[in-house]
Structure 1
Amino acid sequence: MIDQTTPDQTQPVFAQVANVIDAALDALTAAGMLRAGLPRGAVTCEPPRDASHGDMATNAAMVLAKPAGTNPRALAAALVEELVKDPRIASAEIAGPGFINVRLAVDAWLAELALIARAKGDYGRSAVGGGTTVNVEYVSANPTGPMHMGHCRGAVVGDALAALLEFAGHKVIKEYYVNDAGAQVDVLARSAHVRYREALGEDVGAIPEGLYPGDYLVPVGQALAAEFGDRYATAPESEWLLLFRAKAVSAMLDMIRADLALLGIHHDLFSSEAELQASGKVDAAEAWLRAHDLVYDGILEAPKGKTPEDWEPVELPLFRSTKFGDDQDRPIKKSNGAWTYFGADLAYHFQKAQNADALVDIWGADHAGTVKRIKAAVAALTSAEGQQPKPFEIKLVQMVALLKGGQPFKMSKRAGNFVTLADVVEMVGKDVVRFTMLTRKPDAQMDFDFDKVVEASKDNPVFYVQYCHARICSTLRKASAEGFAPAGENLALLGEEELGLIKLAAQFPRVVEGAAAAREPHRVAFFLHDLAAAFHAYWNVGNDRPEKRFIVAQDAALTAARLFLANQIGQVVRNGLALLGVAAAEEL
Structure 2
Amino acid sequence: MNIYADIRALVTDALDALAAEGVLPEGLDLSNVAVEPPRDPLHGDMATNAAMVLAKPAKMKPRDIASALAEKLVADDRVETADVAGPGFLNLRMAKPVWAGVVRTVLESGDAFGRSEMGKGRRINVEYVSANPTGPLHVGHTRGAVFGDALAALLDFAGYDVTREYYINDGGAQVDTLARSVYLRYLEAHGQDVAFPDGTYPGDYLVEVGEALKAKVGAAYVDQPEEVWLEAVRDFATDAMMDLIREDLAVLGVQMDRFFSEKSLYGTGRIEAALKALDDRGLIYEGVLEPPKGKVPEDWEPREQTLFRSTDHGDDVDRPVKKSDGSWTYFAPDIAYHFDKVERGYDALIDVFGADHGGYVKRMKAAVSALSDGKVPLDIKLTQLVKLYKNGEPFKMSKRAGTFVTLRDVVDQVGPDVTRFVMLTRKNDAPLDFDFDKVLEQSKDNPVFYVQYAHARVKSVLRKAAEAGIAVDDATLAGADLSGLTHPAEVALAAKVAEWPRLLEIAARTHEPHRVAFYLYELAGELHALWNRGNEEPALRFLQEDDPATSQAKIALARAVSVVISTGLGILGVTPVEEMR
TM norm structure 2:
0.95
Matched ranges for 1:330-349 at <5 A: 330-349=319-338
| 1:516 equivalent among 508, 522, 542 | 508
Shift of 1:65: 3.7
| 1:447 equivalent among 433, 436, 458 | 433
Determine helix, strand or coil for the equivalent of 1:577: helix
Structure 1 position 418 matched with structure 2 position 408: no
| 2:390 equivalent among 401, 404, 410 | 404
Distance, in Å, in 2 between the alignment partners of 1:475 and 1:309 is 72
| 1:230 equivalent among 178, 196, 219 | 219
Query: Per the alignment, do residues 75 and 418 of structure 1 end up closer, same or farther by CA in structure 2, a change over 3 Å counting?
Result: same
Determine helix, strand or coil for the equivalent of 1:173: strand
Structure 1 position 189 matched with structure 2 position 175: no
Amino acid at match of 1:353: V
- State the partner residue of 2:481: 490
Q: Which moved more, 1:438-447 or 1:54-63?
A: 54-63
- State the partner residue of 2:415: 429
Distance, in Å, in 2 between the alignment partners of 1:518 and 1:304 is 33
Shift of 1:390: 2.3
Matched ranges for 1:286-301 at <5 A: 286-301=275-290
- State the partner residue of 1:480: 466
Shift of 1:231: 1.8
Give per-residue Cα distances to partners, 1:60-97, cap 9 Å, x unaligned: 23323433444433333332222222211112222233
Matched ranges for 1:14-413 at <5 A: 14-199=4-189, 201-354=190-343, 355-383=345-373, 388-410=374-396, 412-413=398-399
- State the partner residue of 1:8: none
Distance, in Å, in 2 between the alignment partners of 1:91 and 1:546 is 30
Q: Which moved more, 1:481-490 or 1:237-246?
A: 481-490
Amino acid at match of 1:478: K
Matched ranges for 1:572-587 at <5 A: 572-587=564-579
Contact 2:35 2:47 in 1 (8 A): yes
- State the partner residue of 1:546: 538
Determine helix, strand or coil for the equivalent of 2:451: helix
Contact 1:174 1:269 in 2 (8 A): yes
Contact 1:181 1:273 in 2 (8 A): yes
Structure 1 position 500 matched with structure 2 position 498: no
Distance, in Å, in 2 between the alignment partners of 1:556 and 1:349 is 60
Structure 1 position 559 matched with structure 2 position 551: yes
Amino acid at match of 2:164: K
Contact 1:13 1:109 in 2 (8 A): no
Shift of 1:540: 1.0
Query: Per the alignment, do residues 309 and 442 of structure 1 end up closer, same or farther by CA in structure 2, a change over 3 Å counting?
Result: closer
Distance, in Å, in 2 between the alignment partners of 1:391 and 1:35 is 36
Determine helix, strand or coil for the equivalent of 1:97: coil
Query: Per the alignment, do residues 306 and 547 of structure 1 end up closer, same or farther by CA in structure 2, a change over 3 Å counting?
Result: closer
Give per-residue Cα distances to partners, 1:264-311, cap 9 Å, x unaligned: 101111111110233322111211212212121001222345544433
- State the partner residue of 1:569: 561
Coordinate RMSD, CA, aligned: 1.7
Query: Per the alignment, do residues 183 and 541 of structure 1 end up closer, same or farther by CA in structure 2, a change over 3 Å counting?
Result: same
Q: Which moved more, 1:28-37 or 1:539-548?
A: 28-37
TM norm structure 1:
0.94
Determine helix, strand or coil for the equivalent of 2:434: strand
Q: Give the aligned length.
A: 573
Distance, in Å, in 2 between the alignment partners of 1:456 and 1:75 is 50
Q: Which runs of 5+ in 2 are unaligned?
A: none
Amino acid at match of 1:568: A
Determine helix, strand or coil for the equivalent of 2:143: helix
Query: Per the alignment, do residues 306 and 58 of structure 1 end up closer, same or farther by CA in structure 2, a change over 3 Å counting?
Result: closer
Shift of 1:347: 2.1
Q: Which moved more, 1:39-48 or 1:66-75?
A: 66-75
Give per-residue Cα distances to partners, 1:467-513, cap 9 Å, x unaligned: 11011111111121122234342211122211110001110111100
Shift of 1:204: 2.9
- State the partner residue of 1:464: 450
Give per-residue Cα distances to partners, 1:490-548, cap 9 Å, x unaligned: 21112221111000111011110001111100000000001111111111112222232
Distance, in Å, in 2 between the alignment partners of 1:158 and 1:277 is 27
- State the partner residue of 1:529: 521
Amino acid at match of 1:278: G
Determine helix, strand or coil for the equivalent of 2:566: helix
Give per-residue Cα distances to partners, 1:364-409, cap 9 Å, x unaligned: 11111222222222222222xxxx4422211111111111122112
Contact 1:160 1:581 in 2 (8 A): yes
Determine helix, strand or coil for the equivalent of 2:483: helix
Determine helix, strand or coil for the equivalent of 1:361: strand
Determine helix, strand or coil for the equivalent of 1:81: helix
Q: Which moved more, 1:298-307 or 1:111-120?
A: 298-307
Distance, in Å, in 2 between the alignment partners of 1:86 and 1:574 is 33
Contact 2:126 2:148 in 1 (8 A): yes
Shift of 1:155: 0.7
Identity of aligned residues (%): 55
Contact 1:29 1:36 in 2 (8 A): yes
- State the partner residue of 1:7: none
Determine helix, strand or coil for the equivalent of 1:332: strand
Distance, in Å, in 2 between the alignment partners of 1:302 and 1:147 is 36
Determine helix, strand or coil for the equivalent of 2:389: strand
Contact 1:165 1:172 in 2 (8 A): yes
